[in-house]
Amino acid sequence: MAMLLGKKVGMTQVYDESGKLLPVTVIQAGPCVVMQVKTADTDGYNAVQLGFDDVKASRRKNPQVGHAQKADTAPKRFVKEMRLPEETETEYKVGDSITVSVFVDSKLVDVVGTGKGKGFAGVMKRHGFGGFPASHGTERKHRAPGSISSFASDAGHGGKPKKGKRMAGHMGNCRITTKNHRLVAIDEEKNLLVVKGAVPGPPGGYCLVRSAKKV
Amino acid sequence: MAKKEKTATASKTDLLDAVENKSLKKEIPHFEIGDTVDVRCSIKEGDKERVQVFTGTVISRKGRGINENFTVRRIVDNEGVERIFPLHSPNVLDIRPVRSGKKRRAKLYYLRDRTGKAVRLAHRHSTHTVSK
């Protein structure tokens, strides 16, 4: 399984070989540095810790600076682990650099990012409720959730709304995975991945790209 | 205070342009608003592919980069027909300016309100059009 950390650059369009215009997202992925190699013997599981985007050593606390020095690099802004299958011997070494070339054989990728925050959102935006009519006598409750419970229909809940009842609240700014993006192009010179469709997060936001889990 | 030095990383637009530029055509024939053009475009019908020529007046050209497109208007059976072509689409094979027209506007939308002989633009002698 291939995985890289990156930054969303933005969206644009490209023509594919059949002359169709595709909406694509450009991701600047890697080069990622292997900060640490975890093995079943020492840590209980096999994994590789990847780091992306240098930050000045004076901006980070000493433990993080020291951790990065073991891999002979600067401290990183974005650090994530890539789990490896249990039985295999890992070919990664601390200090290795991983570039977009790991995706050369991949056709589909998953992208994980932090979605844009929407703040405190009502039920129509947050859960897709229908709302109420705009006219015909509706007053002051055009976007209201409606009844949230009654004693009779929610018997057994002690006259309280059911757990998990969909209501207004904070929306967005959480981890989102979008699956099976077609990998349209790879630019090894500029470390760019071009994937079809939209990817979670704002331009400039960090994201994680991995080869698709379920095809 | 010393100016903060910018890092040498490429800007967002540079990177997007790098991706976009691969889809752009290298050479685009010169044509202007008001020109009568022959647009050759390939059309797929099932497995077959054929070339269709659409001739008309360019009444608008807008957008930039990969989004650039132009509108060609012609009159077929007393009915105005407009087609909007993406300039960089691989299906638009060739654009050949045939005749230049006099115009004083960037967009010739006023031609939509005209019928008959009034839709003609006065001929303008120009080097880029091919004389017939």
Query: A64-89 pLDDT, tens per residue?
Result: 898 888 888 888 999 999 888 877 66
Report pLDDT for B1: 44
Report pLDDT for A23: 94
Report pLDDT for B5: 47
Report pLDDT for A201: 93
- Which residue shows structure tokens 């991706």? B19
- The span from the CA of A38 to the CA of A44, in Å, is 8
Of B56, B103, B110, nearest to B84 by C-alpha is B56
Res A2 pLDDT > 80: yes
Find the residue in B nearest to A195 (Cα): B19
Q: Cβ contacts (< 8 Å) between B49 and chain A: which residues? A: none
Contact A19 B15 (CB under 8 A): no
Percent of chain A with pLDDT over 70: 95
Q: Cβ contacts (< 8 Å) between B23 and chain A: which residues? A: 13-15
Res B112 pLDDT > 80: yes
pLDDT class of A155 with cuts at 50, 70, 90: low
* Report field, pTM of the whole predicted structure over 0.95: no
- With vertex at residue A69, the alpha carbon angle to CA A65 and CA A70, rounded to the nearest 5 degrees, is 125
Contact B12 A204 (CB under 8 A): yes
Res A123 pLDDT > 80: yes
B21 touches chain A (CB under 8 A): no
- The span from the CA of A20 to the CA of A17, in Å, is 7
Contact A14 B19 (CB under 8 A): yes
Q: Which of B15, B42, B67 sits opposite A190 (nearest CB)?
A: B15
Least confident of A18-27, A189-198, B24-33, B112-121: B112-121
Report pLDDT for A121: 95
Q: Cβ contacts (< 8 Å) between B19 and chain A: which residues? A: 12, 14, 24, 26, 185, 187, 192, 194
B124 touches chain A (CB under 8 A): no
Res A202 pLDDT > 70: yes
pLDDT class of A209 with cuts at 50, 70, 90: very high
**In contact, B113 and B101? CB cutoff 8 Å:** no
B80 touches chain A (CB under 8 A): no
Contact B66 A185 (CB under 8 A): no
Q: Cβ contacts (< 8 Å) between B12 and chain A: which residues? A: 9-10, 203-204
Report pLDDT for B6: 46
Q: What is the mean pLDDT of chain A?
A: 88
Res A148 pLDDT > 70: yes
Find the residue in A nearest to B15 (Cα): A9
Contact A12 B18 (CB under 8 A): no
Q: Which of A13, A21, A28 sits opposite B15 (nearest CB)?
A: A28
- The span from the CA of B83 to the CA of B41, in Å, is 11
Contact A10 B89 (CB under 8 A): no
Report pLDDT for B24: 87
B69 touches chain A (CB under 8 A): no
Sequence-distant (≥ 6) Cβ neighbours of residue A36 within 8 angstroms:
A48, A49, A67, A70, A71, A94
Find the residue in B nearest to A18 (Cα): B90
Mean pLDDT of A40-61: 88
**pLDDT digit string, tens, across residues A126-143:** 999 999 999 999 999 999
Helix (H) or strand (E) holding B18, with range, is: helix B12-21
